[in-house]
Each structure stands twice: as C-alpha cells, then as structure tokens.
Amino acid sequence: MTLYDILSKMPIFARFSDEEKRAISEIEHSIHKYRRGDQIIEEGEHSTSLYLLVKGAVLITKKIDEATIRLARLGPGEIFGEMSFFTDQPRRTSVMANDKVLVMKMDEDFFDSLEPRVKDKIKDYIISLLIERLDKMNDSIMQISRTMPF
C-alpha cells in the first residue's frame, strides 16, 4: 500500500482532492520512522511541529512531580503536537513510539511546500478536532462533577 493510499483513508484528508492528497504524499522529507521506545516529542522542548500518525501507535505522557502519567494512546490517522503548533509554547507532554511508527511531520518546510488552500484545509481540520476534544473533556468534567457533593 502506498503512502497516498494510506493518507486517502484518513479523516484529515476526507475533503481533499486526489491531486491535493498526491501532493502531500510526495513530500518525502516529512516522513519519519521511529522504533518502539523512541521519543518523538519531549515535554518542555520548544518546537511547533505538528505530527500525523501514519502507522503504529504512540503514548502521550506528562510528568507530575516524580511520576509519569499516561494520558492517551493514539493510533493511525490521529494528530499530536497541535497545542505547540498553535500557541508557539513549549511542549506540555511527551510522545513516545509504542511500536514501529511512521509519522508525517508537519513543520515550516512542510507547510511552505503546500498551496494556501491545502494549508487552510489542514488547519480547519485541526481546529475542528480541537473543538471535538474540548467537547469530550467538558463531558468528562460533567461526569466527574456529578459524583462530587456540593
């Protein structure tokens, strides 16, 4: 299966034309491989790259005091690194490869090689993704608050 075939099945590219998906799949310098245990993002580092998980799984963790807390496990088609991408702030979490991983690193070079309408489609998708995550977080907070006495 080609990278184009894989990307074509991902939700982020659902509204992209075949030509746009082909152009993205041909940006080879943005494809990175990692092995299980490799650190992709380190909490506290300053980087604004955004990542699309193409193959494999990653673990999102955060250090609190002396403990490392697992926040999420992401699979193919999911995006990470979006907070620093939008805020230009240091990374708030770490991301580690949970098995063999293939990612598309969306950095300044990646976006410079795209047409404006394609950049906008990617950003629009990420914004809708963030809104969806916020809604889920609000639902979780509501569930927790129901169990707390007033």
Q: Give the CATH number of the domain where residue 78 resides.
A: 2.60.120.10
Q: Which residue's entry shows tokens 């991408």?
A: 85
Total count of domains within the chain: 1
Do 2 and 55 meet the contact criterion of CB atoms below 8 Å apart?
Answer: no
Structural domain range at position 129: 3-146
* The model's pTM: 0.87
Task: Please give the share of the chain, as a percent, with pLDDT higher than 90.
Answer: 79
pLDDT in tens, 78-118: 999 998 988 989 999 999 999 999 999 999 999 999 999 99
Q: Tell me the C-alpha to C-alpha distance, in Å, between residue 65 and each of 62, 68, 69, 84, 105.
A: 10, 8, 10, 22, 30
State which H helix or E strand residue 33 sits in.
strand 31-34
pLDDT in tens, 43-52: 999 999 999 9
User: Residue 68 CA to chain centroid, in angstroms?
Assistant: 20
